[in-house]
Amino acid sequence: MKTVLTVLTMILVTVVYAQEKYIIEGTIEGNDQSMIKVIDDYYNPGGKTLSEANIKNGSFKLEGIYYGKPEVKYLKFGSKSIVPIFLEKGTIKIKIVKDRILQDDEYATVYQPFVSGTKNNDILAEFITQKLAIENSEKFKTYTSTAKALDEAYKKNASPDEIEKLSKVVQEEYPKFDEAILELKKEFALKYKEEIAAIYLFAIEGEGITSTSYTKKERETFKDLFKKYNSDHTYYQQLENKLRIFENVGIGATPPDFTLLNEKDEPIKLSDYRGKYVFLDFWAYWCVPCVETFPHLKKLQNKYKDKGFQILGISSDPTRSAWLKALKKYQNPWPQIIETAEMNSPQQISTQYGVEYLPTTYLLDPDGKVIATNLTEDQLDKKLQEIYGNK
């Protein structure tokens, strides 16, 4: 009897995780590459290749077997050209054009393709179309044009004054733009609540969900909604885990204490700064927007250091040699510590603090409670003026 049950169990597991065949047929505008492949994770250089094919006259056809539920994977061609798509059963049609670029830096050029043919990819394509319409609308013309100009300024190593001027405009305009995108994500999450794409768009697409994305009630409401249909999917589990982390680092919470080493291998403990207002700055040596905040933070440190204000820099990237080189270059007059755990691991302080992008910042009161997160330069100025007066 036991043997029969074991066999039945194996059959059930095979059915649940049945092989699903996918076909991806596509074209690439202005392509000079000969090979394209599907990879598991473009952030990981050692990521798994799921299938590959030749590109002939700008066209390609990828075929493969996929196990489990739909997830976003990546097409890669050339050294760093990336296209996100949902890998799922069926024939996926895709068109990659040169002028639909989501991200372009030294690490990756990420395209927003025209994609169709399967349920989740159709939803993703519909979302991208509406997102681009918001980006290109007259209402957000100032934000999008200035953001592009700032990106170009970084690339050409423009003067600090030029970058600061552009950055201030972006910081002022971004909250309104971000609110519009979050509203669009909520609309799609409700409209397609039964599909995997709903969770992906709500919690993972773009910069992903942060402690300031949506209200607490909205986050919990949508989590409960997704649970009805896809509680066993990895995206739902990621969302659930993030919301658990946000409870620990949200406004009014006392975030986890930690001890990390400074450049002299001396232990620095967060709770040792109780009694002061502490500005936690998660950054990395390769993060240009991070280091661009240093001149302003130096002014604030000098202005308020004798009044009980303390900045604490935390390198999210554990590459010690590059971090030490950056410390020597920028000469910041506040304590600097570095992660020792592997990036994105549960042991990382950055993970425990829900850091999804850099820089990420928290302002703690003298009792160690969070009173603000991810403030712009102007917002931080105003907050410190509220605390210490306008002098």
Q: What was the pLDDT predicted at 216?
A: 85
* Two structure tokens written together for 100: 């639909």
Alpha carbons within 13 angstroms on the beta-carbon side of residue 206 total 17
240 and 153, same domain (yes or no) = yes
300 and 243, same domain (yes or no) = no
Residue at 120 is within a domain: no
Here the CATH number for the domain that contains residue 368 is: 3.40.30.10
At residue 187, what are phi and psi to the nearest 5 degrees? -60, -45
Q: What was the pLDDT predicted at 3?
A: 45
Q: What was the pLDDT predicted at 46?
A: 60
Alpha carbons within 13 angstroms on the beta-carbon side of residue 354 total 28
220 and 289, same domain (yes or no) = no
Q: Which residues contact 41 (CB under 8 A, 6 or more apart)?
A: 47, 48, 74
Residue at 279 is within a domain: yes
195 and 315, same domain (yes or no) = no
Residue at 360 is within a domain: yes
Residue at 89 is within a domain: yes
Domain boundary among the residues 188, 216, 249 is at 249
273 and 383, same domain (yes or no) = yes
266 and 243, same domain (yes or no) = no
Provide the domain limits for residue 207.
135-249
Q: What was the pLDDT predicted at 248?
A: 87
Q: What was the pLDDT predicted at 95?
A: 94
Question: Using an 8 Å Cβ cutoff, are 98 and 113 in contact?
Answer: no
Q: What was the pLDDT predicted at 31?
A: 78
Here the CATH number for the domain that contains residue 71 is: 2.60.40.1120
Q: What was the pLDDT predicted at 71?
A: 93
What parts of the chain have a pLDDT lower than 70? 1-18, 43-47, 106, 343-345, 390-391
80 and 153, same domain (yes or no) = no
193 and 291, same domain (yes or no) = no
Q: What was the pLDDT predicted at 44?
A: 62
Q: What was the pLDDT predicted at 39?
A: 93
Residue at 123 is within a domain: no
